[in-house]
Structure 1
Amino acid sequence: MAAAGRGLPRMYDFSVSKQAAAGSGDGALELLKAHTPEGHTVRSATSALAKLLAYHLERPLQPSERLAHQADFVASMLTGSAPTSDWHNALKLGYDVQALQYPAWMSAGSPIGEAIGMALPPVVPPGEPISTVSPDVAARWGLPIECIVVGGTTDSIAAFLAAGATEVGDAVTSLGSTLAIKLLSSTFAEDARRGVYSHRLGDLWLVGGASNAGCAVLREQAFDAGELERLSSAIDPSVPPPYTDYYPLSSSTVGERFPRPDPNAVGVLSPVPPERRDFLHCILHGLAVVEKQGYDALAELGASPLRRVLTSGGGAQNPQWTRLRQKMLSVPTSRAANIEAAYGAAMLACRGT
């Protein structure tokens, strides 16, 4: 999320409670607590609306300022028009993906509406045409003048689309530096207190959450690719590791978002077994537990039952870990056929146009 003349863009993990200018973050969260529904996703300290309100409390928003997520900004540069957002990027800005409009508590005359003024972008369905590229962009990059720019999405949803999950109950787990899950559901489920939110995907819902735990801890513990492959091949997924209570947060991370939100959470990577193979087994088991707890949380909130899991990210390449996870999840678990977010974004644009 960017704002001209306001310093560096505020990234997805920017927390107004920890990183915004003194007082502005707390003020933003107080406004949200007072004027938004209990459990709403915008109450998170990392939500786009929290960041926008913090901007305003640092220095009042001007009529010429517009909020733009990364995809919105790029589309704006391509079309030469003001930023337009989409259902997926605008979710944590407060856009109501059930009613398909900004809610009343963000309207003019409301305390939040008065604060953010005209900064809210219009919102379109992902993949819906916005405009053609501008003549200057077409000439600069050699694009056809009739080239259409469509509403965007997030990288994780694009990866979900690329993975080939198409049926209710299909899910995609991303095993990258952090662990994220998304489940295609016929029912809406959301609870910001537990880090769970729903994106609209046509007439269905993409319910998910993202943990701060993930494969970053493997790099931190100096496991290189060769050692990971060698040691993993010696792990028996049917046998528990020596220790089963690891919580694999890296040492630089304080706090957890999902599935057990705790702003003070720290990693648990001890006791350390004498054998590196067993240490790796403990870490992989701990991450699988986080994944299992994540899908359990979605079920508790009313999402559709899990029927299969496709896997993206670097961890998808580890067959022993996949078998360990499948045993814990009790559903078919495999590597996704395609894991490139760019492919999913291209699919979305093709469907939309």
Structure 2
Amino acid sequence: MSAWIGIDLGTQSVRAMAVAGDGRVLGTGSRPLTSHRDGPRHEQDPEQWWRELAAATREAVSAAGVPVEGVAVAATSGTILLTDPSGRPLTPALMYDDRRADASLANEVGGHVWERLGYRRMQPNWALPKLLWLLRETRSPDVRLAHQNDFVNRRLTGHRVATDLSNALKTGVDLIEERWPLDVFDALGIPAGILPGVVRPGTRLGVVCAAAAEETGLPAGTPVIAGTTDGCAAQLGAGALRPGSWNSVLGTTLVLKGVTKELIHDPLGVVYSHRAPDGSWLPGGASSTGAGALTRDLPGRDLDALSAEAAARCGSPGHPPGARDLAPAVTYPLVSRGERFPFAAPDAETFTLGEPADDVERYAAILLGAAFVERLCFDYLDLLGAPVDGEIILTGGATRSAYWTRLRADVLERPVTLRENAEPALGMAVLAGGDPAAAASTMVRTKAVVEPSGADLREPYLRFVAELERRGWLDPAAAAHARERTTTR
């Protein structure tokens, strides 16, 4: 028996997982990470990444007790730092949500490239604006750009490594040509010499060096494989690898990631695509709605108890409390002000249609609203021409509620799949295993397929869509397409 090591280098912790070829988890390890936040500032110490990654990996490898065939690392998207030529950090790491930079210059100079790549514009927290900010603030004359996983991959191999297209997306890499747009970077004053090479996720970067082997417990000579961002890693862990299949991650917020053969262009810029290891595309978007609204609006309540009571009261997950009058209450469950997907509306706010009678109905109204947003995301993706007829795989904390899962199947009018394990670390073990499709076919295990109950929730969905359009947040063309898909199904 052998194991593949997947590592998820996140914001609050690093998690390592040793996975057998049949998907069994042979060993795990995790360590916490700390951050410094101050207004728009969010930094971490890159040296802490390495120390805690090494400790977590040693724990996972020791527990597995079998030969290791490969290792891959996932990291947070848009997190960067500057190093010296030897890889020593010269700056703190600017995290994925650090907002001290200004994206206007990057968009002015490189807008034609971002338009061609489908996402149209960069945001202030993306890596390229942050790189410009770091170059202005750093006095050292000889620096190198490093994404979060570049930094630890260099420590693993002992030499400078290429970055992967997934982590380089927010730094402005040309995903079509699979290279840096050097004319844009030259106009921005970014020297080509500070940039790492670029490869697809899944490319071999080197092998674990002797020094890293001593610290991590990984055998020297173990192949080090180029990883991805954490969102793409979770998609790999969910096994959403075929065109038309989608991974819907519902936790604090909602994130959809899918697969298309061709690059999707979104006129609103709310959907953008990563490049898959096989050259296909991984479109997706992140909504600001999700389960975070439950802890905000129902503080201190036992959510598992509310779920059980909601299911018992209505008799069927497809008939939420309030359905007795054919007009269930629906809450648009924004976690914070402003929406990002399936529409861009920086002034959007939470609202409720109807009047929930108690906390059980308030709970159900939030669940129903999140399910409606999820369906609207699929309606919008269909409008853009993305195939949405494949397997829908649900992951994230919301899948712990059987009531919510069945409700989502009812709203989507589709069966939904649950996996035994869909962590980003598992996705990196899949990537380390070579051919992702082949590795996922054995490593990714299905827990259940949940069929819709047959409940008809189209009328309240259309009321919800109409309200979003009335408030000026949802584009009329997107609203019309949602109505057409709902009435013709």
Contact 2:182–2:192 (CA under 8 A) maintained in structure 1? no
Aligned position for 1:134: 209
Q: 1:245 to 1:53 in 2, by over 3 A?
A: farther
1:87 is aligned, of 165, 168, 172, to: 165
* 1:61 Cα offset (Å): 7.1
Report the alpha carbon displacement of residue 322 of structure 1 after superposing the two structures with TM. Answer: 1.9
Paired residues, number: 338
Pairwise CA distance, 1:53: 2.2
Give the partner amino acid of 2:111. T
- Please, which runs of 5 or more residues in structure 2 have no aligned partner? 1-78, 83-88, 437-489
Q: What's 1:282 paired with?
A: 365
The structural deviation recorded for 1:146 is: 0.8
| 1:299 has 2:382 as partner | yes
Matched, 1:329 2:417: no
Give yes or no for the alignment of 1:308 onto 2:391: yes
Q: Does 1:340 align with 2:429?
A: no
Q: 1:55 to 1:257 in 2, by over 3 A?
A: farther
CA distance in structure 2 between the partners assigned to 1:61 and 1:83 by the alignment: 24
Larger radius of gyration: 2
How far apart in 2 are the matches of 1:257 and 1:116?
A: 33
Aligned with 1:43: secondary structure? coil
Q: Note if contact 2:80-2:131 (Cα within 8 Å) is conserved in structure 1.
A: no
User: 2:145 — aligned with what?
Assistant: 67
Q: Check the 8 A contact 1:72/1:152 in 2, yes or no.
A: no
Coordinate RMSD, CA, aligned: 2.6
Moved more, 296-305 or 283-292: 296-305
Find the counterpart in structure 1 of residue 290 from structure 2: 214
Whether the 8 Å CA contact 2:158–2:209 is kept in 1: the answer is yes
User: Residue 238 of structure 1 corresponds to which residue in structure 2?
Assistant: 318
| Aligned partners of 1:179 and 1:212 also within 8 Å | yes
Shift in CA distance, 349/228, structure 1 to aligned 2, threshold 3 Å: farther
Tell me the residue number matched to 1:52: 131
* CA spacing shift, 1:244–1:303, aligned 2, 3 Å: farther
Conserved? CA contact 2:200–2:275, under 8 Å = no
Query: Are residues 1:14 and 2:92 paired?
Result: no
Long gaps (5+) in structure 1: none
Instruction: Give how far 1:160 is off.
Output: 1.4
Residue 312 of structure 1, CA deviation: 0.6
Between the aligned partners of 1:196 and 1:50, the Cα distance in structure 2 is 20
Q: 1:125 to 1:170 in 2, by over 3 A?
A: same
Give the CA deviation at 1:7. 6.1
Q: Tell me, what secondary structure is at the counterpart of 1:328?
A: helix
- Kindly report which structure 2 residues correspond to 1:200-279, keeping only aligned pairs within 5 A, or say none: 200-201=275-276, 202-220=278-296, 221-222=298-299, 223-234=301-312, 235=314, 236-239=316-319, 241=322, 245-250=330-335, 253-269=336-352, 273-279=356-362
* Cα deviation digits, residues 170-229 of structure 1 (max 9, x gap): 111001111100112222114384321111221322111111211111122224343243
CA distance in 2 between counterparts of 1:266 and 1:34 reads: 33
User: Distance between the aligned counterparts of 1:115 and 1:192, measured in 2?
Assistant: 29
Mapped partners of 2:214, 2:127: distance in 1: 34
Code of the residue aligned with 1:276 in structure 2: it is: D
By how many angstroms is 1:71 displaced? Answer: 1.7
Structure 1 residues 44 and 99 mapped into 2: Cα distance closer, same or farther (>3 Å)?
Answer: same
Query: Following TM superposition, by how much is the alpha carbon of 1:12 offset from its aligned partner in structure 2, in angstroms?
Result: 2.1
* Aligned equivalent of 1:125: 200
- TM value normalised by structure 2: 0.63
Letter in 1 for 2:331: Y
**Contact 1:35-1:105 at 8 Å conserved across structures:** no
How far apart are residue 13 of structure 1 and its match? 2.7
Identity across the alignment (%): 34
TM-score by length of 1: 0.85
Distance 1:337 1:324, change over 3 A: same
Query: 1:279 and 1:187, CA in 2 relative to 1: closer, same or farther beyond 3 A?
Result: same
Measure, in 1, the Cα distance between the counterparts of 2:354 and 2:146.
Answer: 46
